[in-house]
Amino acid sequence: MSDSDAENDENPEVPPDDVLDELFATIESRKAELPEGSYTASLFTHEKGENAVLEKIGEESTETILAAKDDDLDELTYESADLVYHLLVLFAMKDLDLDDLREELRDRF
Ligand SMILES: N=c1c2ncn([C@@H]3O[C@H](COP(=O)(O)OP(=O)(O)OP(=O)(O)O)[C@@H](O)[C@H]3O)c2ncn1[C@@H]1O[C@H](COP(=O)(O)O)[C@@H](O)[C@H]1O
């Protein structure tokens, strides 16, 4: 995590329902400001371009599947969080946002 996490540090008690919005807002901020030392910013400036995050999504998907096959629920939760984080970075890269995801899911009800 980089030094410019002040917004999260000032709000350590983010309600669980808001955590995805808070995370996505932080990712958008990293995309706009590209602070030094930020892993998220490094994904937006990577020499491999979008392949860097696409590869991570592939890796995290595999790790999620392996955790599920092992019935390791802690690991499944941890790897799923990695996967969701990288998916959100991809959304930001493609100028999509959480409302696009919510709308798609809502349309399936
Ligand atoms: N949620 C995440 C998040 N999830 C995963 N990662 C990074 O994604 C990378 C995952 O790579 P790996 O799986 O290879 O790393 P690993 O987990 O050590 O290795 P494995 O055991 O899984 O193989 C690690 O560098 C993690 O730090 C994340 N990096 C940042 N965030 C959030 O992004 C925000 C901005 O953080 P910065 O990127 O530091 O600016 C912060 O608020 C964080 O909460």
Tens digit of each residue's pLDDT (9 = 90 or more) over 25-70: 999 999 999 999 999 999 999 999 999 999 999 999 999 999 999 9
> Is 65 a member of any domain?
yes
**What local confidence, expressed as pLDDT, does residue 70 receive?**
98
Q: Whose CA is nearest to atom 8 of ligand 1?
A: 82
What is the rounded (10 degree) CA torsion for 71, 80, 21, 1? 120
Ligand 1 center to 100 CA (angstroms): 23
Q: Which of 2, 11, 31, 40 to mutate to test the pocket of ligand 1 (most atoms within 8 A of CB)?
A: 40
The pTM score is 0.88
- Per the structure, the complete domain to which residue 16 belongs is given by 6-106
- Is the CB of 1 within 6 Å of ligand 1? yes
> Is 95 a member of any domain?
yes
What span, in angstroms and rounded, lies between the C-alpha atoms of 42 and 28?
13
CATH code, 74:
1.10.287.1080
What span, in angstroms and rounded, lies between the C-alpha atoms of 78 and 36?
26
> Is 1 a member of any domain?
no
Total number of domains constituting the chain: 1
Tens digit of each residue's pLDDT (9 = 90 or more) over 88-105: 999 999 999 999 999 999
Ligand 1 atom closest to 1 (CA): 39
Q: How large is the ipTM?
A: 0.91
Question: Do 2 and 31 form a contact (C-beta atoms < 8 A)?
Answer: no
